[in-house]
Chain A
Amino acid sequence: MSRPLRVIIAKAGLDGHDRGAKVIARALRDAGMEVIYTGLFQTPEQIVQTAIQEDADGIGLSILSGAHMTLFPLIVEQLKAQGAQDIVFFGGGTIPPEDADELRRRGVQAIFTPGAPLSEIVSFVEHECGKRRELVG
């Protein structure tokens, strides 16, 4: 039996709203994944470093402060710079639809906004991180 999927749940910038991040972290854990919660106020560099060091299959970033158009692309950039684009990158928060579209174009695989069912998020992570695991072993 292979080891469980491993996911980083991250909070970046100055945003202290951690309710959603903690709920997602618990839901993924309840679904049998290993979840590492970074805590607050991480830089994009720190988040990507954590993911690489922990050999994580995915990174989920939560932003509710309005800084999503700055911080999501910085993580995409870091993943590229570290040659770690295989790590599934998704996120959520108060993100208007046109911003979410733009972020998907710029390499964020999925954006979940308030009201998204936990089951939908869990199955996305299981599916995408599962694919990544098959590829990299």
Chain B
Amino acid sequence: MIQRPSGLGAQPTNEFIHEKEQWEAASAKGKGRKGPGSGAVDRTISDLPLKSLYGPEDVAHLDLADDLSYPGQYPYTRGIHPNMYRDRLWTMRQFAGFGNAKQTNERYHFLLAQGQHGLSVAFDMPTLMGYDSDAPQSRGEVGKCGVAIDSLADMESLFDGIDMGDITTSMTINGPACIALAQYVAAAEKKGIPRAKLGGTIQADILKEYIAQKEWIFPPRPHMRVIVDMMRFCRDEMPKWNSISVSGYHIREAGSTAAQELAFTLADGFAYVEAGMKAGMDVDSFAPRLSFFFNAHIDFFEEICKYRAARRIWARHLREKYGAKDPRSWQLRFHTQTAGCSATAQQPENNIVRVAYEALAAVLGGTQSLHTNSMDEVLALPTEKSVEIALRTQQVLAYETNVTNVVDPLGGSYYVEALTDELEKQAEEYFRQIEEYGGVIEAIEAGFFQREIADASYRYQRSLETKDRVIVGVNAFEKPEETQDIELLKITEEIERGQARGVQNIRSNRDAQAVGNALDRLKKACNDPSDNLMPHLIDAVNAYATEGEIVEAMVQVYGRYTERAAF
């Protein structure tokens, strides 16, 4: 192997080589651990091969300047800011929403009073799928997984008493994201806060819906036009708003490996960049407003390396492939959430510990914001008590552990640098395969991502069956007589009935003519790619058209997506 003059691996001396040989001989005598979990010591949780020790030879091919550089400098492997958490801690942002807007609004006031920095809205399934609370498809689902938002009236009560110009808000919604954004803008403007002052993020990452989360409405091709309109609208009118949060979280939750999460998410990001450029936007005019959202799973080092690799890949592609000139376009900023799928229903208090390790990985990987899951989320929506513990977990990490005081403390670790590099290589190999299909949309249509994820999740499940891998309390260290005595949050059926009555009231007490006209103009714009949809959507929500009505109007033009079911 050629030693690069500025490489990480110094030319080994004879003495060092001798010591290595001694270690190899001693190591070979080891008998290997037996017992639970000993079947997978040679692989990460994602099945990447592991050595028992990493050394200079594993990083000799890396270049200090090209591959690592310094924090705040291209390719940002070591972080996007020169001082990282010394200058500013990550944003502690707990995802919350349940029942109706009034209940969720109370939870938001509670979280802000506990020292949380920003809000993060969880919507219920009907809202995420574009159905009103009184639609037949919504039965049993209203307010269960998040808050029910049918019309502008709900959005107004969601932010009642909260200064929307002062906080930042993240909204996790994709299929109908353009409608939620329109409602947010309209609710703020009714309070006299101009849209240009609004800070936050809307997920709006439709590609990963087809890949993993499955909350789609329209087919991919027309939906890409909706995305481009949103990016353009945010660029022109909402300079503080992140137009898309390109998300790997759900890809991982659906059972992918770390490398798949990394690769598929970045491939989606590149697809949005290409769509924006194809629509005539300068890459530097919108790329800085794209942000990312990753999972923090339980394989500690693999996760840290995933974030470091993500930054390096994004920077390289944006600068080299897409010709971005603005360093902000090169910088991958991301939110992290601890892995819901790593939490267990058995001995749920153990989840507090898992979350703490996962949060530490996210912070050592340089996240910009963080949601820590509550211990009871695998059973139901979290109670106030468990949400508080989750937030305190972040505060202990931020204020007690001192991990914030040194930037990228694991940089230069033979293992961390080698694994970062390996993940980058695996991602590049996936990009090549996606390219062979003709792009992300074509690969979705061919079922490529869905198959890769299903294969990985089945492999993982088998490794639990054979006990090659251990989950404490599930396939080892079980408590057979375990009874659940933790308090759970229940959403009553009265919420559904009340929400259904509410949306019916809205429909009977508004200017029906104005709604009809606004929806007609929206449909016309759907047929005319040169007319941005966003102003028409804002008009429609201001007339109190409901989400279901707006979706229905758009479906008349775009159609509904259906997936070919396979397993």
Residues of chain B with a CB closer than 8 A to A40's CB: 214, 563, 565
Closest B residue to A35 using CB positions: B567
Residues in B lying within 8 Å of A, measured CB to CB: 125-126, 128-129, 131, 137-141, 144-145, 213-215, 253-255, 341, 344-346, 378-381, 454, 457-458, 461-462, 465, 471, 473-475, 484, 488, 491, 563-567
If A96-B379, A114-B345 touch, does A19 touch B141 (CB 8 Å cutoff)? Answer: no
- Stretch with Cβ within 8 A of B (4 or more), from A61-69, A103-111, A126-134: A61-69
If A71-B140, A96-B484, A115-B346 touch, does A15 touch B125 (CB 8 Å cutoff)? Answer: yes
Q: Flag if B126 contacts A14 (CB, 8 Å).
A: yes
Chain A 83-126 interface 0/1 with B at a Cβ cutoff of 8 Å (1 = within): 00000000000101100000000000000011101110000000
Q: Flag if B465 contacts A14 (CB, 8 Å).
A: no
Q: Flag if A23 contacts B458 (CB, 8 Å).
A: yes
Residues of chain B with a CB closer than 8 A to A117's CB: 465, 475
- The secondary structure that dominates the B interface is loop
Residues of chain B with a CB closer than 8 A to A97's CB: 484
Residues of chain A with a CB closer than 8 A to B378's CB: 94, 114
Closest B residue to A18 using CB positions: B214
Residues of chain A with a CB closer than 8 A to B563's CB: 39-40
Residues of chain B with a CB closer than 8 A to A69's CB: 140
Chain A 20-63 interface 0/1 with B at a Cβ cutoff of 8 Å (1 = within): 01110111010000010111110000000000000000000000
Q: Flag if A65 contacts B144 (CB, 8 Å).
A: yes
Closest A residue to B566 using CB positions: A37
Which of B137, B141, B465, B475 gathers the greatest number of chain A CB atoms within 10 Å? B141
Residues of chain A with a CB closer than 8 A to B253's CB: 19
Going nearest first, the 7 A-B pairs with the smallest beta carbon separation are A70-B140, A39-B565, A16-B214, A66-B144, A67-B140, A14-B125, A22-B567
Closest B residue to A113 using CB positions: B345
Q: Flag if A23 contacts B380 (CB, 8 Å).
A: no
If A14-B131, A15-B125 touch, does A65 touch B345 (CB 8 Å cutoff)? Answer: no
Closest A residue to B136 using CB positions: A43
Residues in A lying within 8 Å of B, measured CB to CB: 9, 13-19, 21-23, 25-27, 29, 35, 37-41, 65-67, 69-71, 94, 96-97, 113-115, 117-119
Closest B residue to A38 using CB positions: B565
Q: Flag if B380 contacts A96 (CB, 8 Å).
A: yes
Q: Flag if A26 contacts B458 (CB, 8 Å).
A: yes
Q: How far apart are the CA atoms of A16 and B128 in the complex, in Å? A: 11
- 7 residue pairs from A and B, CB less than 8 Å apart: A14-B128, A23-B461, A25-B567, A29-B567, A37-B567, A41-B137, A66-B140
Closest B residue to A114 using CB positions: B345
Q: Flag if A13 contacts B213 (CB, 8 Å).
A: no
Q: How far apart are the CA atoms of A26 and B458 in the complex, in Å? A: 8
Q: How far apart are the CA atoms of A25 and B565 in the complex, in Å? A: 12
Q: Flag if B344 contacts A119 (CB, 8 Å).
A: no
Nearest Cβ in chain A — how far from B7, in angstroms?
A: 42
Which of B213, B473, B484, B567 has a CB less than 8 Å from the CB of A26? B567
Which of A26, A65, A94 has a CB less than 8 Å from the CB of B141? A65
Q: Flag if A37 contacts B565 (CB, 8 Å).
A: yes
Residues of chain B with a CB closer than 8 A to A35's CB: 567
Nearest Cβ in chain B — how far from A49, in angstroms?
A: 16
Q: How far apart are the CA atoms of A96 and B380 in the complex, in Å? A: 8
Closest B residue to A13 using CB positions: B141
Q: How far apart are the CA atoms of A15 and B140 in the complex, in Å? A: 11
Q: How far apart are the CA atoms of A78 and B253 in the complex, in Å? A: 32
Nearest Cβ in chain B — how far from A12, in angstroms?
A: 9
Q: Flag if B380 contacts A94 (CB, 8 Å).
A: yes
Q: Flag if A14 contacts B567 (CB, 8 Å).
A: no
Q: How far apart are the CA atoms of A38 and B562 in the complex, in Å? A: 12
Residues of chain A with a CB closer than 8 A to B137's CB: 13-14, 41
Nearest Cβ in chain A — how far from B209, in angstroms?
A: 8
Residues of chain B with a CB closer than 8 A to A26's CB: 454, 458, 567
Nearest Cβ in chain B — how far from A101, in angstroms?
A: 12
Q: How far apart are the CA atoms of A52 and B358 in the complex, in Å? A: 46
Q: Flag if B140 contacts A119 (CB, 8 Å).
A: no
Q: How far apart are the CA atoms of A71 and B126 in the complex, in Å? A: 15
Q: How far apart are the CA atoms of A35 and B566 in the complex, in Å? A: 11
Nearest Cβ in chain A — how far from B175, in angstroms?
A: 10
Closest B residue to A26 using CB positions: B458
Closest A residue to B214 using CB positions: A16
Residues of chain B with a CB closer than 8 A to A19's CB: 253-255, 341, 457
Contacts beyond the supplied A94-B380, A117-B475: 10 A-B pairs with Cβ under 8 Å: A14-B125, A16-B215, A19-B255, A39-B565, A40-B563, A66-B144, A94-B379, A113-B345, A114-B345, A115-B475
Q: How far apart are the CA atoms of A82 and B385 in the complex, in Å? A: 46
Residues of chain A with a CB closer than 8 A to B564's CB: 39
Q: How far apart are the CA atoms of A117 and B463 in the complex, in Å? A: 11
Residues of chain A with a CB closer than 8 A to B491's CB: 66
Residues of chain A with a CB closer than 8 A to B213's CB: 16
Residues of chain B with a CB closer than 8 A to A118's CB: 461-462, 465
Q: How far apart are the CA atoms of A65 and B344 in the complex, in Å? A: 17
Residues of chain A with a CB closer than 8 A to B381's CB: 66
